[in-house]
Amino acid sequence: MTKSDKSPTTRAAGILLVTRTEPRQFLLMRHIDRWDLPKGHCDRGETDLQTALRETEEETGIPSESITIDPDFRFQLSYPTTYKRYGDQVFQKTVVYFLGEIESAVTPTLTEHQAFHWFAWEPPHEIQTQTIDPLLEAVANHYHKNRIA
C-alpha cells in the first residue's frame, strides 16, 4: 500500500472522570445517538494530555486544576470514522484516554452535548461496545491491579 492509498488520520484525546468519594461514579456526556466522554481533536503542538485537559474543561466547565490525572493509566483506541464536512471520506481516528479523578460529582456546564450522567462504578459496564466499554474494562483492570475500588 502506498502512502496515497492510506486513509487520512486524525488524533483526539479525552478524560474519563471518576469521583474520589464513595460511591464512586464516572461521567459520560450524551450526544443525540450515543454516550461519549469529554474529548476532542489535538491542536498542532499540543500533547495528548494537554488536549484532554483543554477539551474536558471546554466541554464540562470543570477546571483542569480540579482534575488529578492517574500517571499510570493511558488507553488508546483506533477506529475508522467519517466526518460530515468531508462527505464519505474515511479517516483513521486514534483517541487517547486518560483517567482523571475529581472530588465528587458536579453538574457540568454543557457546551457540546445535550445531557450528562454520572454512572455508578459497577463493572462490568455495557454502554457502547466500540469505545466506552473497552475503556471502562481497562480502567476496571487497572483498579483491580492497583487494588482501587
Q: What is d(CA 94, CA 42) in angstroms, rounded to the nearest whole number?
A: 10
**pLDDT lower than 70: segments of the chain:** 1-5, 149
d(CA 90, CA 85): 12
Please tell me the predicted confidence (pLDDT) of residue 83: 80
Q: Report the pLDDT value the prediction gives residue 85, as an integer from 0 to 100.
A: 78
The Cα–Cα gap between 29 and 121 comes to 16
In the chain, what is the straight-line distance between the N-terminal and C-terminal CA atoms, in Å?
A: 46
pLDDT for 1 equals 39
> By three-state DSSP, how is residue 102 classified?
strand
pLDDT, one tens digit per residue, over 43-64 is 999 999 999 999 999 999 999 9
In the numeric block, the cell 481516528 is attached to 93
Q: What pLDDT was estimated at residue 89? A: 85
Per-residue pLDDT, 86: 77
Residue with the three cell numbers 494530555: 49
Domain range list for the chain = 3-122
Say what the pLDDT of residue 2 is. Answer: 41
Q: What is the pLDDT of residue 4?
A: 44
The pLDDT value given to residue 110? 93
Give the rounded percent of residues in the chain with a pLDDT score beyond 90.
77
The amino acid at residue 45 is: G
Cell of 128: 457502547
Pick the CATH number of 3-122 from 2.60.40.2550, 3.30.470.20, 3.20.20.80, 3.90.79.10: 3.90.79.10
The three-class DSSP label of residue 25 is strand
Decide: 102 and 19 in contact? Cβ < 8 Å.
yes
